[in-house]
Amino acid sequence: MAERLLEVDNLQVSFATEDGVVRAVDGVSFTLDRGEVLAIVGESGSGKSVTSMTLMGLTRGVNSRFGGSAKLKGKELLSASEEDLQKIRGAEIAMIFQDPISSLSPVHRIGDQIVEQIRAHDKKISKAAAFDRAVELMERVGIPHARGRARAYPHEFSGGMRQRAMIAMALSLSPSVLIADEPTTALDVTIQAQILDEVKDLKEHSDSGIIFVTHDLGVVADIADRVIVMYAGRVVEKGTLDEIFYDPQHPYTWGLLGSVTRMDRDPPKRLPSIPGLPPSLINAPAGCHFRPRCPHEFDRCREVPPLEARVSEAPDHLDRCWLSVEDKRSRREVEGRIGLVKDTVPA
Amino acid sequence: MARFAVRRFMSMLALLFATSVVVFGIFEIIPSYNPARAIAGRNANKTTVQEVSRKFGFDKPFYAQYANTMKLIFTGQIVDYQDQLNVVDQFKQKFPATLSLVIPAGIIWLIAAIVLGSVGALKAGKFADRALMVMAIVGVSIPVFLLAAVLLYLLAYKTSVFPNTGYVSLTSSPAQWAYHLILPWFSIALLSIGFYSRVLRGNILDMINQDFVRTARAKGLSQRDVFSRHVLRNSLMPIITLFGLDFATLLGGATLVTETVFNIPGIGQYEAAAIGNLDVPPILVGAMFTAFFVVIFGAFCDLFYALLDPRIRLSG
């Protein structure tokens, strides 16, 4: 069995704001093994980015409160000292961010930014050796003329090349855990595909565990082994890629799947969407967080459904919905495919 | 680069021309202004005044007078009306005192502003930040003449910690030079420290939430490296522009009040006397001197800016 890298148990993250306490992450649990790609899926504000940033201690602050536990190879991250976290960041857990335009320092050369990370962890390596290593990394992620390009500034790179540079930087110390926080969202579709190929290549040729944070289920289908669906700070469904795509149990997952446009079907008259907006996390609705937007809502939804296995043949497929499995399987069929509701608005 | 230099040179010529015409023109429309009478002396009779007027060309039309004065300035032969001394020589003689005043003051205010601005940003909302805010407002609000007078009264007259005005040149005694200039330095610096530190604090607070700062932290850099290499580096840009212009105007004689209060024989004091006497040549040369420095330092700032931020390309 592959080595267990991450063990997150009942993680809670809340922020005190002027309007009240925001419970951004509420009882999230998952594990990550070597060589595995775990996708965390959800809308903006579902807590997926906060979850991943908390692993690196990037959400720490005077107004933040944490609960539960998050362990890297058995070492607790939530209570780790800032010095210990500095050693982990970039070296053990590295992160690729959403927007490569704003995520690179505008005033430093690309190569120097990679060198900076290498030298932050390897104090003995010379500048020249670190620079050579940076060039090697840039070549590895497909940046042409890497030696010359390493001396360029971020504004002289295209969006896709910048994201490749970010990936090169994240890989510079061969981290055990790589967190990709919506790495393709800010890019063109063609560039998205190239970056996804890079990530897939990584999955095959390195033994890192990858956490892929996204709202795009199309991307998830492409690379993930296991999927966590988050809604309003909670995990609403968790399972293997096949379980989530072919036997989704939570209405929110149906909604997400129903919103994916598919090339292999006739285009819908209207792009389906999930009605309503995610709730404020300051005054989250009692019971199931998805209740106000859910067309299948009933009395029991006023109680918070536990995250548990409900499909008898899949003990690791968990979800948070009170409906019976039979009910779910019949209700999720909308016009011959999985969806939340039939689109009632005439085209 | 050559294009940049040429364009800046052209804009310098334009600015010098505009400044000189405006200054020269102002004296043309002051009603009681009669330079011939000033030159001829208090007891001169009408014919003497007329003679002087003819000799100096004051009876000629405005443009001819202007052209003549410009010729004298650029050949270095311009003399003031009051004492018939060469103005360019006077500037050369008095410039070291102004430099002694302005350069260290500039260094003091820049360093103090960076330190205090950083402290304010890192302790934002806490006591230290609030205390600095109050001090900055006080610093910005106190007029220089009042601050200078209060400093002199408390530290030179009442307690004699510092000398009561005066100037010793750097070459004759560096220690005495510094000792005499400490109060003037701080009088000039305080206003800018207050202003610059607040601007920098705001810049830093904007910068600290930028994505690339998060990246720097995610790379595993120490907090100190994140701050100095990424946050501060990117926050200093607007300060540099401000500094270039403020410093240039000070060099050009904007130290008038400070030099007068502390009795420092620099350009400012010289200009103050010239203004009191409505003595056109020193005022004109002083204004052009300032304009010259503003353009030169503007160009320096842009060069430095381009060095700090590679996204900036030099243009005219």
- Is A120 close to B220, i.e. CB distance below 8 A? yes
Q: Which chain B residues are within 8 Å of A102, Cβ to Cβ? A: 210-212
Contact A103 B309 (CB under 8 A): no
* The pLDDT of residue A343: 57
Contact in structure between A191 and A163 (CB atoms under 8 Å): yes
- Nearby residues of B229 by Cβ (< 8 Å), 6 or more positions away: A108, A116, B216, B221
Q: State the nearest Cα–Cα gap between B116 and chain A, in angstroms.
A: 22
Upper half-sphere CA count for residue B310 (Cβ side, 13 Å):
13
Q: Which residues of A touch B218 (CB under 8 A)?
A: 56, 58, 89-90, 94-95, 97
| Chain A contact for B223 (CB, 8 A cutoff) | yes
Task: Mark B229-259 as b/e (b = at least 16 C-beta within 10 Å).
Answer: bbbbbbbbbebbebbbebbbbbbbbbbbbbb
The model's pLDDT over A286-295, given as tens digits with 9 standing for 90+, comes to 889 999 888 8
What's the pLDDT at A346? Answer: 46
Whose tokens are 């100095």? That residue is: B228
A169 touches chain B (CB under 8 A): yes
Indicate yes or no: CB of B219 within 8 angstroms of CB of A82.
Answer: no
Q: Is residue A94 within 8 angstroms of chain B, CB to CB?
A: yes
Q: What is the mean pLDDT of residues A60-80?
A: 92
Task: Grade residue A347 by pLDDT with cuts at 50, 70 and 90.
Answer: very low
pLDDT reported for residue A250: 93
Judge: B212–A106 Cβ closer than 8 Å, yes or no: yes
- Place A120 in a pLDDT band, splitting at 50, 70 and 90: very high
* The predicted structure's pLDDT at residue A147: 93
* Mean pLDDT estimate for chain B: 87
Decide if the complex's ipTM is over 0.90: no
SS (H, E, C) B20-89: HHHHHHHHHHCCCCCHHHHHHCCCCCHHHHHHHHHHHCCCCCHHHHHHHHHHHHHCCCCECCCCCCEHHH
Q: Does residue A117 belong to the interface with chain B, where contact is any CB pair within 8 Å?
A: yes
Contact B219 A88 (CB under 8 A): no
Picking from A97, A106, A166, the nearest residue to B311 by CB comes out as: A106
**Contact A212/A283 with Cβ under 8 angstroms?**
no
> In chain B, which residues have pLDDT < 50?
none
pLDDT score, position A317: 93
Please check whether residue B211 touches A, CB under 8 A: yes
Interface subset of B 279-308, CB within 8 angstroms of A: 308
**pLDDT digits over B172-223, tens only?**
888 999 888 999 999 999 888 999 999 999 999 999 989 999 999 999 999 9
pLDDT digits (tens, 9 = 90+) for A144-170: 999 999 999 999 998 889 999 999 999
The residue among A200, A230, A270, A169 whose CA lies nearest residue A40 is A230
Nearest to B218 among A89, A99, A106 (CB): A89
User: Which residues are CB-neighbours of B264 under 8 A, at least 6 positions away?
Assistant: B97, B98, B101, B165, B166, B167, B181, B184, B255, B258
- Binned at pLDDT 50, 70 and 90, residue A1 comes out as low
Which tokens in the block code for residue B205?
């607070």
Chain B residue with minimal CA distance to A107?
B309
Query: What's the mean pLDDT when you consider all of chain A?
Result: 89
Chain B residue nearest residue A98, CA to CA = B211
Per CB-CB distance under 8 Å, the chain A contacts of B308 are: 107
CB count, 10 Å around CB of A37? 24
- CB contact under 8 Å between B310 and A107, yes or no, is yes
Distance CA B130, CA B147 (A): 22
Q: How far apart are CA B314 and CA B299, in angstroms?
A: 9
* Residues of A whose CB is below 8 A from B309: 106-107
Residues A120, B233: C-beta atoms closer than 8 Å: no
- What is residue A340's predicted lDDT score, i.e. its pLDDT? 81
Helix (H) or strand (E) holding A333: strand A333-334
The two counts, helices (H) then strands (E), for chain A are 11, 14
Q: How many CB atoms lie within 10 A of CB B13?
A: 11
Query: Does A121 reach chain B within 8 Å, measured CB to CB?
Result: yes
User: What crossing angle do the helices spanning B267-276 and B280-308 adopt, rounded to 10°?
Assistant: 140
The answer, for B123 touching chain A at a CB cutoff of 8 Å, is: no
Distance from CA of B26 to the nearest CA of A (A): 47
- Among the partner-chain residues B216, B220, B308, the one whose CB lies closest to the CB of A105 is B216
CB distance A58–B218 less than 8 Å?
yes
Cβ of A120 under 8 Å from any chain B Cβ? yes
Instruction: Tell me whether residues B234 and A56 touch, CB distance under 8 A.
Output: no
- How much is the pLDDT for A175? 92
CB A72 within 8 A of CB A177: yes
pTM of the complete model: 0.81
Distance of alpha carbon B35 from alpha carbon B277, whole angstroms: 10
Residues A56 and A88: beta-carbon distance below 8 Å: yes
38-77 in chain A: CB under 8 A from chain B: 56, 58
What is the distance in angstroms between the Cα of A194 and the nearest Cα belonging to chain B?
A: 22
Section A32-56 average pLDDT: 91
Mutate to test the interface with A, among B210, B212, B213 (most CBs of A within 10 A): B212
Of A117, A153, A155, the CB nearest to B219: A117
A309-342 pLDDT per residue, tens: 988 888 999 999 999 988 888 888 887 778 887 6
